[in-house]
Structure 1
Amino acid sequence: MRTQAVGVALALAVTSLTSPAQAHPPTSTARVWVTTPDRAELLHERAPVSFRRGASDLTTITVDPRTSYQSIDGFGASITDSSANVLYRLSPAEREKTMRALFDPKQGIGVSFLRQPVGSSDFTAETEHYTYDDVPPGRTDFGLTHFSIAHDEQQILPLLRRAKQLNPALKVMATPWSPPAWMKTGDSLVGGRLKDDPAVYDAYARYLVKFVQAYTRAGVPVDFLSIQNEPQNRTPSAYPGTDLPVRQAAAVIERLGPLLRKASPRTKILGYDHNWTTHPGDIASTPPGEDPETDYPYKLLQSPAARWIAGTAYHCYSGDPSKQTDLHKAFPSKGIWFTECSGSHGPDDTPPQIFRGTLTWHARTLMIGTTRNWAKSVVNWNIALDSTGGPHLGGCDTCTGLVALHPDGTVSKDAEYFTIGHLSKFVKPGAVRIGSTSYGTTGWNGHLMSVAFRNPDGSTALLVHNENDDPRSFAVAVGDRSFEYDLPGGAIATFTWDRNGSAPRPVPLDGATATASVNAAEAGLAIDADGSTVWQSKQAQAPGQWLQVDLGSARHFRQVALDSGGHLGDYAAGWQVATSNDGVHWSDAVTGRSTGQLTTVDLHPTRARYLRVTSTATSNHWWSLADLRLYH
């Protein structure tokens, strides 16, 4: 058998893997925009970088355009009542300038998703909280005769209409913080539950439909609707909130679904709209004898109401984004949207600390963490606040927005403007997330994180975040082309390029298992398609150490990628690769030496069940495999 070992390349160009009749020749350069935590660069476009044939010895982010995940609806924030108030304090010219900076895809960042409160939230500039059907205490309005969105026509709707003019692709989600008080126990917008009455459930469903219809008539169609913000937040701090158990949520949705399908077929219902995990405070506030429903989104999607629910909306204030993947695995036909997270700060934090901390946390947790865990949107909270974090009526007094109005009348762009901008300016609605290796974690491990998207026009956008405070050098590979780049500590970069030729087709490793001669318990970390989890020998390299993969059944492949990720120097100094169909009788081994973090072994077309990689040399470094991949 003829064999050939090739170090550090993703894959050799093979005629059978080249897309037929390439009408679009591969691009030769990638454009790049960078934001640094010290504000030295803020969505600054640097000189383009050139692709070249061949490979690099550096840690290599491999972009895999043949593997696709979720489609994207958009990225943005909320024009709350407070945000509208702040924007209307500006002169008409300054307001237009700020709106363009936010929504214009060319002159600004092209915000493409807004989550709008249905009535009052904690971020209102009013002196009292409100809904669209408020009546005096002790009275009801089951006919919804007092319903009106006149409040929003003053500032909010004009801003929404202008935003849609600036970015016609903009999508709008609507979320209530509370039903009208007359529908609730306690007759208050703050706390309480819906009255346990079918007539109330019906009235609330009709109330939400009337809102959608009114907004549509006002020129702002509603694309998504959830029925309650944070339904387990039973003790909101002087702002609207409602305890909505699963059974009540399901009862409302069962009534809302048919009405909404008739009145506004475009509007999708999203469930839950709360944190990745139930907050300990929400568990503690559960009424005696009741289930805290820590599995709320699962129960809701298991209920009969699930037929009306497009998917689940999540917030960032408890848990981590991996919970989105857990839910996706349980309900793969349902979508996941990330719909709220606010930047915040401590009382003694300085502006540079606030900017750095918010930028880096949002970069790894929201920009990349949520999208790598199936989110179809990334939405911050307020799009604009003043420099004191207001106005607000109850609730958060340390929140930050995408932009801030200062006492001297100037408007600054906060960290969230740039984290959202690195997405919304380059990843268009309808884009699809594609494969890319990522070595960092949302919990911070100091490595490089990435996420990649293919836009509707066929172009690619790759986001890279350097978690470490020190600069990092790395490579980006697509097929047999790559480029090298240096990124400052804590920085974010977005790379974009047009169609880039062909790439090999990956072999799915679902159901595969792995073992090893050393540290066998963690061998599976090498084949979990997660570059942030790493199998390591945990001892110096020595001849005879091996890692073996059982694919479960015989599969076709012709290339093996041995990716040591960000663990510099931990590549196999010497290696051999052999295959088998029974785990006993092995093919002649392909042998070679590595010189860098990614080594690709080129084989003749092979059909085998087992693959074994054996160390053949000595090194003081451990042997690390962040990712072992097979290609057709």
Structure 2
Amino acid sequence: SVYRALPMCTCGTYQSVTKMAVSLLILSILVTSVLSQSCNIRDTDEGSVCVCNAKYCDTVPDLDVSTGKYQVYSTSKAKLGFYSTTGSFVENTDGEESSIIIDQDTKHQSIIGFGGAFTDSTGINIKLLPEGAQKNLIESYFGSSGIAYSLCRVPIGGTDFSTRGYSYDDVEGDDTLEHFALQDDDFDFKIPFILQAKALRNDNIKLFASAWSAPTWMKTNNDWSGIGSLKEEYYQLWADYILRFFEEYDKQNISFWGMTTQNEPIDGYLPKFFSKINSMGWLPSQMNEWIGENLGPTIRNSAFSDLKIMLHDDNRITLPVLLLLLDNEKTMS
């Protein structure tokens, strides 16, 4: 059948319009009254928002539709977030056909999930909140009453979202990774909140890891940022280092679905004047060799052999570089 949406109302007289206006005014007062009891409304240049605190945090209204009806969630300057409206469909009687066709046999790309990142700065800011507000905030992102994030990134070591540059083995020349160890930053700012998110999602969350930089002593410029890449003699050690990261997080009951090979490798070829974030440069030829000869075999022959290895974690302007990676048989195997 062909359907069209019913209008909200059909008002043909001044009296009807007046009654509707009064009704809407009363409804507005009632809604404002209810919200004021739970939501601490704050006006901003972008509209009104509810402040997340120990007593209240935004939730997503339950989906409540049946056959022939629809429900829409919207957020705008004029309304608070997750504003829910419902309506009904009826058969089209005006003779004009308007069809929505869903062809289940035609499939395009898959959506793996939606989410964010467990960075040091995220953990630092969450820890500044009272305990009740922390709980509500995590619930609003990962809980069943929230937006249910299901895909999240975890840095391997320090990033531009850290208060310092650090790695898991800053002992120069440690070729056996004897001194490899997770840092206080992991135990204070990342691991606790990852575990809370996992509990709220009943472990139904995909985590993927990304490295910003190897330890400085493994790099050509001996620095966290600036023009520098991984020294070739450390290709295998860097692969072993990443494997150790997965092993150490596994001891904390945190497993990973995937990883990217490098955060924004183009940044490692920018002078420090332009980019001061933790970075490490890779050319396509270098990345192909490292993945094919070192990282790939190391991961595939480990207890984490099902880990997804994702290429080209960078800005879209550098997509032509991806074609050079995809064209390499050893990298793609």
- Please confirm whether the aligned pair reaches a TM-score higher than 0.5, indicating the same fold: yes
Paired positions, count: 264
Identical residues among aligned pairs (%) = 28
8 Å CA contact 1:28, 1:52 repeated in 2: no
Task: Tell me, in whole angstroms, the C-alpha distance in 1 between the residues paired with 2:205 and 2:256.
Answer: 10
What amino acid sits opposite 1:227 in the alignment?
T
What secondary structure does 1:77 align onto? Answer: coil
Query: Which position in structure 2 is the counterpart of 1:64?
Result: 103
Shift of 1:44: 2.0
Structure 1 residues 116-265: aligned runs within 5 Å = 116-124=154-162, 126=163, 128-135=164-171, 139-151=172-184, 152-167=186-201, 168-197=203-232, 199-233=233-267, 234-235=269-270, 237-254=275-292, 255-263=294-302, 264-265=304-305
8 Å CA contact 2:169, 2:180 repeated in 1: yes
What amino acid sits opposite 1:95 in the alignment?
Q
Could you say if the C-alpha distance between residues 217 and 53 of structure 1 is closer, same or farther in structure 2, counting changes exceeding 3 Å? Answer: farther
Could you say if the C-alpha distance between residues 87 and 31 of structure 1 is closer, same or farther in structure 2, counting changes exceeding 3 Å? Answer: farther
What secondary structure does 1:155 align onto? Answer: helix
8 Å CA contact 1:250, 1:304 repeated in 2: no
Task: Tell me, in whole angstroms, the C-alpha distance in 2 between the residues paired with 1:39 and 1:129.
Answer: 43
What secondary structure does 1:154 align onto? Answer: helix
8 Å CA contact 2:243, 2:299 repeated in 1: yes
Task: Tell me, in whole angstroms, the C-alpha distance in 2 between the residues paired with 1:29 and 1:115.
Answer: 39
Task: Tell me, in whole angstroms, the C-alpha distance in 1 between the residues paired with 2:105 and 2:221.
Answer: 55
Could you say if the C-alpha distance between residues 58 and 83 of structure 1 is closer, same or farther in structure 2, counting changes exceeding 3 Å? Answer: farther
**Under a length normalisation based on structure 2, what TM-score does the superposition of the two structures give?**
0.73
Shift of 1:193: 3.1
More helix by share: 2
Q: Deviations over 1:341-376 (max 9, x none)?
A: xxxxxxxxxxxxxxxxxxxxxxxxxxxxxxxxxxxx
Query: Which position in structure 1 is the counterpart of 2:150?
Result: 112
Task: Tell me, in whole angstroms, the C-alpha distance in 2 between the residues paired with 1:54 and 1:208.
Answer: 60
8 Å CA contact 1:129, 1:239 repeated in 2: no
8 Å CA contact 1:204, 1:252 repeated in 2: no
What amino acid sits opposite 1:203 in the alignment?
L
Q: Which runs of structure 1 show a deviation greater than 4 angstroms over 4 or more consecutive aligned residues?
A: 53-61
What amino acid sits opposite 2:134 in the alignment?
R
What secondary structure does 1:71 align onto? Answer: coil
Could you say if the C-alpha distance between residues 150 and 62 of structure 1 is closer, same or farther in structure 2, counting changes exceeding 3 Å? Answer: same
8 Å CA contact 1:201, 1:251 repeated in 2: no
8 Å CA contact 2:3, 2:89 repeated in 1: no
Q: Deviations over 1:214-245 (max 9, x none)?
A: 11221111111112111112226322011111
Could you say if the C-alpha distance between residues 305 and 189 of structure 1 is closer, same or farther in structure 2, counting changes exceeding 3 Å? Answer: farther
| Residues 1:43 and 2:76 are matched in the alignment | no
Task: Tell me, in whole angstroms, the C-alpha distance in 2 between the residues paired with 1:134 and 1:58.
Answer: 68
Structure 1 residues 143-542: aligned runs within 5 Å = 143-151=176-184, 152-167=186-201, 168-197=203-232, 199-233=233-267, 234-235=269-270, 237-254=275-292, 255-263=294-302, 264-278=304-318, 295-308=320-333
Query: Which position in structure 2 is the counterpart of 1:402?
Result: none
Unaligned runs of 5+ in 1: 1-5, 11-26, 279-293, 309-632
What amino acid sits opposite 2:192 in the alignment?
P
Could you say if the C-alpha distance between residues 306 and 31 of structure 1 is closer, same or farther in structure 2, counting changes exceeding 3 Å? Answer: farther
Task: Tell me, in whole angstroms, the C-alpha distance in 2 between the residues paired with 1:240 and 1:261.
Answer: 28
Query: Which position in structure 2 is the counterpart of 1:28?
Result: 67
Could you say if the C-alpha distance between residues 28 and 55 of structure 1 is closer, same or farther in structure 2, counting changes exceeding 3 Å? Answer: farther
What secondary structure does 2:207 align onto? Answer: strand
8 Å CA contact 1:194, 1:200 repeated in 2: no
Query: Which position in structure 1 is the counterpart of 2:13?
Result: none
Task: Tell me, in whole angstroms, the C-alpha distance in 2 between the residues paired with 1:39 and 1:165.
Answer: 35
Shift of 1:41: 3.9
Task: Tell me, in whole angstroms, the C-alpha distance in 2 between the residues paired with 1:228 and 1:102.
Answer: 26
What amino acid sits opposite 1:94 in the alignment?
A
8 Å CA contact 1:117, 1:177 repeated in 2: yes
Task: Tell me, in whole angstroms, the C-alpha distance in 2 between the residues paired with 1:153 and 1:9.
Answer: 55
Task: Tell me, in whole angstroms, the C-alpha distance in 1 between the residues paired with 2:69 and 2:179.
Answer: 56
Q: Deviations over 1:422-457 (max 9, x none)?
A: xxxxxxxxxxxxxxxxxxxxxxxxxxxxxxxxxxxx
Task: Tell me, in whole angstroms, the C-alpha distance in 2 between the residues paired with 1:192 and 1:111.
Answer: 35
Shift of 1:30: 4.0
What secondary structure does 2:330 align onto? Answer: helix
Shift of 1:266: 2.7
What secondary structure does 1:159 align onto? Answer: helix
What amino acid sits opposite 1:103 in the alignment?
F
What amino acid sits opposite 1:88 in the alignment?
K
**Under a length normalisation based on structure 1, what TM-score does the superposition of the two structures give?**
0.39
Could you say if the C-alpha distance between residues 40 and 161 of structure 1 is closer, same or farther in structure 2, counting changes exceeding 3 Å? Answer: same
What secondary structure does 1:45 align onto? Answer: strand
Shift of 1:301: 1.0
Query: Which position in structure 2 is the counterpart of 1:572?
Result: none
Unaligned runs of 5+ in 2: 5-65
Q: Deviations over 1:225-282 (max 9, x none)?
A: 112111112226322011111111112212111221232023110001111223xxxx
Query: Which position in structure 1 is the counterpart of 2:8?
Result: none
Shift of 1:39: 4.7
Could you say if the C-alpha distance between residues 99 and 184 of structure 1 is closer, same or farther in structure 2, counting changes exceeding 3 Å? Answer: same
Q: Which has the larger displacement, 170-179 or 250-259?
A: 250-259
What amino acid sits opposite 2:217 in the alignment?
W
Shift of 1:209: 0.9
What secondary structure does 1:68 align onto? Answer: coil
Task: Tell me, in whole angstroms, the C-alpha distance in 2 between the residues paired with 1:83 and 1:240.
Answer: 17
Task: Tell me, in whole angstroms, the C-alpha distance in 2 between the residues paired with 1:182 and 1:70.
Answer: 41
Task: Tell me, in whole angstroms, the C-alpha distance in 2 between the residues paired with 1:277 and 1:63.
Answer: 33
Task: Tell me, in whole angstroms, the C-alpha distance in 2 between the residues paired with 1:304 and 1:269.
Answer: 15
Shift of 1:45: 2.2
